[in-house]
Structure 1
Amino acid sequence: MNLYRKAYISVDEYFKIRESSEELLEYIDGAVYMSPSPSTKHQRISSRLHIKFGNFLERKHCEVFHAPFDIELKNEEIEGTKIVIPDISVICNKDGFTDQRYVGVPELIVEILSPSNQSHDLITKLNLYMNYRVKEYWIVNPMLNTVTVYSLNKENMYEQHDIKTNVGIVSSKILEGFEIDLEYLLC
């Protein structure tokens, strides 16, 4: 949800707001968005995904990070500052790490929906991640027990790579060999 109704907030104002707030705040196109506190089911899903990605990526070039970890999306073709806090990020290009955040584009992002933020993750972030060319975007919907995996095609548009509801194995397109059982993930 957009937290501040001011027409435009500068990135400096955003950082001042962050310093005095305990909330998870994102910054997209001059607007500040607050992430809701995660539910128990959300936390279980996030933890299981983090462990599975972490085990899969062990001794590989990529790393997995879980919220709260700031990602400042950076693409030379796009102006402006966007700072998001994905539930899970897989990062392979280590050049963008700073002490406070990652500046660049993760290879894979996972967002776990909450009842109050569905449109933000399903519309705003899907388009944002596609425009910045995040290669793979997973949307986990705990209310519907569904996982949808989008991957970039040759035209840099998202196409649905995989979708499962309640049961089945969900796989990654870019992390060859990575898969997770929905019954394990969503129980």
Structure 2
Amino acid sequence: MGLTHGSFISLKQFYEMREESDDLLEYIDGVVFMSPSPSTKHQRVSSRLQLKFGNFLEGGACEVFTAPYDVHLKKDGVEGNKIIIPDISIICDKSGFTETKYVGVPDLIVEILSPSNQSHDLVTKLNLYMKFGVKEYWIVNPMLNSITVYVLNEEGMYEQFDIKTGSGKLASKQFDGFEVDLQYVFK
């Protein structure tokens, strides 16, 4: 749910708000969203996925970033300001890095659901990432021990590439050869 309750704020006001807050805040076209503090299970899942992605990508062109790290989504032809804090981002195009954030579009984003913000990740962010062309989007549901992988098709729409619940190995389309065992992720 947005913090600004129907009123829009400027990007400048958003940055001022963040300076005065310890909360994780995101900004989507004038609306501020607060991310809940992650649970212990959320942190364990994030850590395990970060480790797996990091080991797989070691020595290559891509890097793994975890929350809290700002991604200012920017793509030619798409208007507005979107500053988000994905749980995990994999970024291969180094040209968008600044001292404090990444400006551009990550190649892969992972969001780990919390009970209080599921619709934000399942609807708002899914549509946002699709619109900006994030090639692969993983939705991790620690309450159900499941992971769903969406990939962009040729029409620029997400389609489900893989889904697993409880057990099994999940693969990435964007990073050929990468796979993760759900029992490891959710143990």
Query: Shared fold by TM > 0.5?
Result: yes
Do structure 1's residue 116 and structure 2's residue 116 form an aligned pair?
A: yes
Which segments of 5 or more consecutive residues in structure 2 lack a partner in the other structure?
Answer: none
- 1:51 maps to a residue whose letter is L
Which residue number in structure 2 is paired with residue 137 of structure 1?
Answer: 137
Cα distance in 2 for residues equivalent to 1:103 and 1:130: 17
The residue that corresponds to 1:125 in the other structure is 125
Q: TM-score, normalised by structure 2?
A: 0.99
* TM-fit CA distance, 1:6: 4.7
| Counterpart position of 1:69 | 69
Return the alpha-carbon distance in structure 1 between the equivalents of residues 53 and 63 of structure 2: 8
Aligned length: 187
**1:103 lines up with 2:130 in the alignment:** no
- Partner Cα distance (2:29, 2:179) in 1: 34
Tell me the equivalent position of 1:85: 85
SS of aligned partner of 2:54: helix
Give aligned-pair identity as a percent. Answer: 66
- Provide TM-score, normalisation by structure 1: 0.99
- Corresponding position of 1:9: 9
- RMSD between aligned alpha carbons? 0.6
Q: Give the Cα separation in 1 of the matches to 2:11 and 2:78.
A: 16
Structure-2 separation of matches of 1:132 and 1:142? 26
Which consecutive residues of structure 1, in runs of 5 or more, have no partner in the other structure? none
The runs of at least 4 consecutive aligned structure 1 residues that moved more than 2 Å come to none
Deviation at 1:85, TM superposition (A): 0.1
Amino acid in the other structure paired with 2:23? E
Which one-letter code corresponds to 2:119 in the other structure? S
> Using the alignment, how far apart are the partners of 1:132 and 1:54 within structure 2?
24
Does residue 45 of the first structure (1) align with residue 26 of the second (2)?
Answer: no
CA distance in 2 between counterparts of 1:75 and 1:144 reads 34
